[in-house]
Chain A
Amino acid sequence: MRAADAGRHLGVLRRLGQTFRAGTTLVAVGVCLLVVAFVVVLAGTALPAIRHFGLRFFTDPAFSTIPVLVGTLLTSGLALLLAVPVAFGVAIFVSESAPRWLRLALTYVVDLGATIPSVVYGFWALEVLVPWMRSTVEPDLARATGGRGPFAGLPLGTDLLSASVVLAIMIVPTISALAREALRSVPRSSREAALGLGATRWDATRIAVLGPASPGLVAAVMLGLGRAIGETIAVALVIGNIYVLPTSLFSPGGTIPSLIVNRFGDAFGLQLDALIELGLILFALSFAINLGARLLIRRLEAGPRGGTPSASRRRSGALTPSAPSAAAGSLLQAPPWWERVARRRATTVRRRRLRERIVLIVLAAAVLAAVVPLASLVATAVGQGGSAVITPSFYTSVPPPFCVKANASTVCPLGGIGPAIEGTLILLGLASLVGIPVGVLTGIYLSEYGRNRFGRLLSLLTDVMVGVPSILLGVFVFALFLRYDRFDAQSALAGSAALALLMIPIVTRATETALRAVPSHLREAALALGFPRHRVTTRIVLGNARGALVTGNLLALGRAGGETAALVLTAGTSTYWFTGLRAPIAALGPLIYDDLTISIAPNWTIDAWGAALILLLIMAAVSLAARLSLRTEGEPGSE
């Protein structure tokens, strides 16, 4: 009897397991199809334009294709040039040199910097950076170079150079956070091996850390480049938006994403299709970067090449000792030059100590360069938006209406961002309803069942989707809704669909990483106890990865909560309370963007800074939660 019961129970369990596996597989296949749909819809919608305009799309100045392509590559390239040294400097400082308290503080600041929404960066840049560039940096540069070459022309402030600098400021935290993780994943034993040879800290970094970390460092740079190329809102706010070929860095210009977001509102018919064709080009760019990064990383991971500049470099006679099988006793005769080396030992050590100190100064300068803009941003937001944020009515009222003449004076009400908060919460709720379960299940599939060809494909597609500029998600959703739902293409529903698309790959990656981090011996122990596979996943693995999972979802929610570009395209423009899923909806990001670009209401700066400060506070909380949950789960064993 008992045996039969047990057998039946096992049968039930097996079926449950099969169902679980089938379920996650189904979702995973769905995500794959979604990515395919993404490409197909973009290409399909652009097709009329491609057919109609052909090569004229590139040659005809009316389309501005070449100028924005140049603008995109120029600003991203320059941003990368500015950002990489700073970001690597910060990462090396945090990982190799900083005392513990400073390491924790800087880690937090950098992680926060990576989560600040681009609309907030853009706002700050417009209010603080652009005036500074116009009044100080650009005139100085022009003077120093005699106003020639890339520094010719009138310093306007809203130009390619400012856009590059904002981009650099934005991608420094992204690159730095990933680079830091890459450096920290190099085991301590490698560093100690170098220190044990008489290396200084900097020597140890150079010899034992940078090499093994190089795949991760490359990945960090590539992610930064991808982010720079797809960045929309911050660039659109400061680049000047003039779509002709730039003649200098002081020329106003445009990039593909900024052109799309600027023209999308008024475009229809073939114009719209042409914009989507531009989007397709942007996708191709980001895809190429992703693929290039993969190839480069694989080559680096394939292990060391010779390790020396050139393998054939050395074939001196000294390498073939005169007595190849030297007898055991007479081994330790020092070569004649050793005396010289030994005598200078203390001097070389002193010289390397000096170099270590100089490097430390350079690293500290990098940290300063990374932290100062962030500090300025936070200070500005608190200074400008602080009063609004502590006013209760700010959260419950609608944006400021026009000023009212009361008696003899004019009263301009503060207004509030109630609708935007409501709208953001609704959008996030709807997006999580789809994004979180789909992302988590896909992540489970990748981690637990994904060791096959389909799994690798899915993993590639997830990487591609993580790197897709968010504005393209907006373009995709808009195109999709336009096709089936002509009149309500911009609505709460479309907005939350775009946010869900944004969240899925992030949640997937976070889930996969969290599950993979659960040590395999835990799984094996549970399997050995007779746990069925799906129970191991749901109970043991998910249980142990809980903290990291929550963190991943929080970060995804944070990203979506501050998203602007995709929402500007899909959620429409609304300053009023929620009226229905098929109507436009307000949200925090678009509120700031609209305030900066189209609002004529008084008090709009306070309004927008209040919203920006709220976004900042949310991100600060999310980053803090992420830090804390990772800390309680413990850092990987030190010994």
Chain B
Amino acid sequence: MRSVPSKMEVAGLNAWYGPRQVLYDLSIDLPDRASTAIIGPSGCGKSTFLRCLNRLHEEGAGARVQGTIRLDGEDLARLDPALVRCRVGMVFQKPSPFPNLSIFENVAAGLRLLGVRRREELDQGVSQALIEAGLWEEVAEVLDAPGTSLSGGQQQRLCIARALAVRPEVLLLDEPCSALDPIATAKIEGLLAKLRSEYTVVIATHNLAQATRIADHTAFLYLGSLIEFAPTEQLFQHPKEALTENYVKGRFG
């Protein structure tokens, strides 16, 4: 695993919400063009970790971060957060299409922010993102309908398309399927399986089976600390830590 080139390097990451520390001295190298699952019981810091990777954590009131995160060797702290978030896209737990925008405009929002104005370019970017997200065929005829008129699973894929439209280098997904039914989940997992060879995907999930299905590597977080990080199969079959073993065997969590 050490031979894989890494896309993001996290070193000594600590994070707080007000007085409460949620991440403790976390160091991890996220491999390039591969998917990494972050697993762990609720409240272990999965979301916070993801939100540190695109500097969204610091937007919260009273939030604080310490440590360095590098993207292709560049220190995130030296980049404008808005630029970081163009390069590191995010999909949230609850589908969150912009409620007052159409399907088309939802996907176009990021492109417009990047200054894309020409109609052909917007059209091309939007349709391509929708195809990549596997949503095109379902929405091609209703692009002007509100994004919120779609089903939950479709909304989530719309959010993925929205994130993909600006062609990020890293895609963060924060329990993207936890609000979805099994069929919608299967669709998104299929989609992630395709994306993981092209993007650096980091997905937080509490669904262990999901991690085994779609992740090349898996990291186990417990109470804000990284317990173990290994290729998925190794972590699930031959965990090195007793804590990891207890968790993946379903003894707690």
A197 to B137, CA, bound (A): 24
Q: B101–A349 contact, CB under 8 A?
A: no
| A198 touching B113 in the complex, CB below 8 Å, given contacts A308-B105, A337-B121 | yes
One of B20-28, B122-130, B181-189 contacting the partner: B122-130
Report which residue of A198, A199, A303 has the largest number of chain B beta carbons within 10 angstroms of its beta carbon.
Answer: A198
Tell me which of B89, B104, B121, B125 contacts A197 (CB under 8 A): B89
Q: B127–A194 contact, CB under 8 A?
A: no
A270 at the interface (CB under 8 A from B): no
Q: B144–A318 contact, CB under 8 A?
A: no
Tell me which of A304, A306, A346 contacts B83 (CB under 8 A): A346
| Chain B residues within an 8 Å CB radius of A214 | 100
One of A75-83, A320-328, A523-531, A601-609 contacting the partner: A320-328
B236 at the interface (CB under 8 A from A): no
| Chain A residues within an 8 Å CB radius of B127 | 318-321
One of A66-74, A203-211, A424-432, A445-453 contacting the partner: A203-211
Please give the distance in Å from A224's CB to the nearest CB on chain B: 23
A36 to B243, CA, bound (A): 72
| Chain B residues within an 8 Å CB radius of A350 | 80
Please give the distance in Å from A364's CB to the nearest CB on chain B: 20
B4 at the interface (CB under 8 A from A): no
Q: A335–B125 contact, CB under 8 A?
A: yes
**B115-143 CB contact bits vs A (8 Å, 1 = yes)?**
11011111111111001100011000001
Q: A318–B113 contact, CB under 8 A?
A: no
| Chain A residues within an 8 Å CB radius of B59 | 192, 195
| Chain A residues within an 8 Å CB radius of B64 | none
What does DSSP make chain B's interface, helix, strand, loop or mixed? helix
One of B5-13, B91-99, B206-214, B225-233 contacting the partner: B91-99
Tell me which of B101, B113, B118 contacts A348 (CB under 8 A): B113
A197 to B87, CA, bound (A): 9
Q: B132–A349 contact, CB under 8 A?
A: no
Q: B98–A190 contact, CB under 8 A?
A: yes
A10 to B90, CA, bound (A): 55
Closest to A337 in B: B121
Please give the distance in Å from A349's CB to the nearest CB on chain B: 5
A408 at the interface (CB under 8 A from B): no
Tell me which of A199, A203, A307 contacts B146 (CB under 8 A): A307
B114 at the interface (CB under 8 A from A): yes
The number of chain A residues with a CB under 8 A from chain B is: 52
Q: B128–A335 contact, CB under 8 A?
A: yes
A214 to B143, CA, bound (A): 22
Closest to A317 in B: B120
A325 to B54, CA, bound (A): 32
A627 at the interface (CB under 8 A from B): no
Closest to A321 in B: B127
The number of chain B residues with a CB under 8 A from chain A is: 57
Q: A307–B100 contact, CB under 8 A?
A: yes
Please give the distance in Å from A192's CB to the nearest CB on chain B: 6
| A334 touching B167 in the complex, CB below 8 Å, given contacts A211-B101, A308-B104, A319-B123 | yes
A298 to B172, CA, bound (A): 37
A521 at the interface (CB under 8 A from B): no
A295 at the interface (CB under 8 A from B): no
A190 to B94, CA, bound (A): 10
| A318 touching B116 in the complex, CB below 8 Å, given contacts A189-B96, A308-B105, A331-B131 | no
| Chain B residues within an 8 Å CB radius of A349 | 80, 82-83, 86
Please give the distance in Å from B97's CB to the nearest CB on chain A: 8
A196 at the interface (CB under 8 A from B): yes
One of B65-73, B158-166, B244-252 contacting the partner: B158-166
A459 at the interface (CB under 8 A from B): no
Q: B82–A325 contact, CB under 8 A?
A: no
**A249-290 CB contact bits vs B (8 Å, 1 = yes)?**
000000000000000000000000000000000000000000
A317 to B166, CA, bound (A): 21
A212 at the interface (CB under 8 A from B): yes
B109 at the interface (CB under 8 A from A): yes
Please give the distance in Å from A42's CB to the nearest CB on chain B: 40
Q: B144–A194 contact, CB under 8 A?
A: no
Q: What are 25 A-B contacts with C-beta separation under 8 Å?
A: A189-B92, A190-B96, A193-B98, A196-B85, A197-B85, A197-B86, A197-B166, A198-B110, A198-B114, A200-B82, A211-B101, A307-B101, A308-B104, A318-B120, A318-B127, A319-B127, A324-B136, A328-B194, A331-B131, A332-B132, A332-B198, A335-B121, A337-B121, A341-B116, A345-B83
Extra 9 A-B pairs, beta carbons < 8 Å, given A194-B109, A207-B101:
A193-B159, A197-B109, A197-B113, A214-B100, A319-B126, A320-B127, A321-B127, A338-B125, A349-B83
